[in-house]
Structure 1
């Protein structure tokens, strides 16, 4: 199996890797993303609480790659990066769980 590029913080799970590898166009687009771009997609998929949500996000990742997007649409961003503090919104909503 050929190499697969991951993100700056996160490593793509086997299911996400398999989905992206199954589509040569998606794989080429994926490999063309920056490590931060890949990291955002991976974090978004990993953030899913339910398996059904995870599968929907994997499917949407393929769609967004086909559309040429470089980050997942409507995702606030990875809160796990050590090189950048979370925004105030990320801290309150994603980390502290307040709405």
Structure 2
């Protein structure tokens, strides 16, 4: 079923997140109903985790937030990998330049 799940606009759905989504048919339906940008934000948020434990918590939280009706990750500034728009000033200062250090 994970092969049938949709990717984001920039990011491909990683196996671990896809498996967690596919394990819950209701969650899979919610995932498929997201916009490509919405899926992209969740994928980027999960992939941005530096520690495996953080990544796992974000995978679990993705399911919780989708079940709560959220369409984007809570408290996420947005994907800095998109090429269709420049990062906002905040993203540039905090996320882009912060990662260069």
Residue in 2 that maps onto 1:75: 76
The number of aligned residues is 98
- Give the C-alpha shift of residue 68 in structure 1: 1.1
Residues in 1 aligned to 2:5 and 2:33: alpha-carbon distance in whole angstroms:
11
Residue in 2 that maps onto 1:94: 95
Give the 4+ runs in structure 1 shifted more than 6 A.
none
- Give the C-alpha shift of residue 18 in structure 1: 0.2
1:61 aligns with 2:100: no
Instruction: Give CA deviations for 1:18-64 in whole Å, capped at 9, x if unaligned.
Output: 00000111100000000000000000000000000000000000000
Residues in 2 aligned to 1:68 and 1:26: alpha-carbon distance in whole angstroms:
11
Residues in 1 aligned to 2:70 and 2:52: alpha-carbon distance in whole angstroms:
24
Q: TM-score normalized by structure 1?
A: 0.96
What CA RMSD, in Å, does the superposition of the two structures yield over aligned residues? Answer: 1.1
Residue in 1 that maps onto 2:49: 48
- Give the C-alpha shift of residue 90 in structure 1: 0.5
Residue in 1 that maps onto 2:18: 17
